[in-house]
Amino acid sequence: MAKVYIDGQEGTTGLKIMERFEGRNDIEIIRIDEDKRKDPAERARLINSADYVFLCLPDDASREAVSFVDNDHVRIIDASTAHRTNPEWAYGFPELSDEHRKKIQSSNRVAVPGCYASGFASVVYPIVKNGIIPDDYPVFAYATSGYSGAGKKAIAIYEGADKPFEFDSPRQYALSQQHKHLPEMQAVSGLKFKPMFNPMICDYFSGMVVSVPIQTRTLTKSITPQQVHQMYMEHYQNAKMVEVMPLMTIEEQKSFFLASNTLSGLNKLQVFVFGNDEQILLCARLDNLGKGASGAAVQCLNIMLGIDETTGLI
């Protein structure tokens, strides 16, 4: 039985990981006493007594926790942004390629993708890898997200009786183009330059859609939505957590609304291709707390354990 410790088990991601472990008898959860949650010595002791450690912490605390490891058998699954662009760490998105999956399986250090970055990479990585856009393409992305990923303070404001009027509206942020996911989005997708990114936090709990528009006239070779859709179908043909949705006709698209919250509570990601021969819109829909955080972390653990990656998730 694998011993698992969650450093940061009272945070949103840690709590959601705990939910996904309910009913499992193949792991033993190591718990820290409430009054010792911030005690470095006790955290270090528990980290080194575990087989697998989830880090659900701010970046600096995550780096500190890794420095505590003095036992070679401890395998770390980090849900912070601290190690996502470190080539020595496996990137925890197994559906991107066989290489990603194999590295997760064999590595002692796995960085769980960010929620926005998961949606972005799911549509951009394949179109760069397959030469549909060049690696120096000026990529732009926008996204809508529920407020659950904004932290406990923001959640309290959204759910409180004194919620400010402007919180009723979608709110754009990271306007300086320095969002913490940008380095990850660039590195993982194989882009030479950082994409522009326009995220919006909205008044619903969880779920998101990340959208990437492509103007086909800017490409060196012609491409159609049908060809892009077929490429995604082939790329994700064996994926259990990523689903390429059916291609709609222009008439079907006219009456269709793409909601951002329909995968809330689920551990899957959906890829959509919209538009026409001149303008193609690529969209990824996922739960920012599921495939975009805790669900992805548990999926990585399952792969590292060598069991069905959907265990506890579907």
Cα 32 from Cα 39, distance rounded (Å) = 10
Describe the crossing of helices 182-189 and 115-129 by its angle, rounded to 10 degrees.
30
Radius of gyration of the chain (CA): 20
Long-range (24+ apart) CB contacts under 8 A made by 27-36 are 27/1, 27/2, 27/3, 27/52, 28/1, 28/2, 28/3, 28/4, 29/4, 29/5, 30/3, 30/4, 30/5, 32/5
Enter the tokens of residue 115. 């929620």
Task: Tell me whether residue 160 is exposed, middle or buried, using C-beta atoms within 10 angstroms of its C-beta: 0 to 12, 13 to 18, 19 or more.
Answer: exposed
Active site residue 115: yes
Enter the tokens of residue 59. 């970046």
Residue type, 310: T
Residues with Cβ < 8 Å from 123, sequence gap 6 or more? 210, 212, 232, 271, 282, 283, 284
Enter the tokens of residue 313. 């998730």
Tell me how many helices (H) and strands (E) the chain has: 10, 13
Catalytic entry in 56, 115, 202, 300? 115
Cα 8 from Cα 12, distance rounded (Å) = 9
Cα 88 from Cα 103, distance rounded (Å) = 10
Cα 288 from Cα 51, distance rounded (Å) = 27
* Residue 5, phi then psi, degrees to nearest 5: -120, 135
Catalytic sites, residue numbers: 115
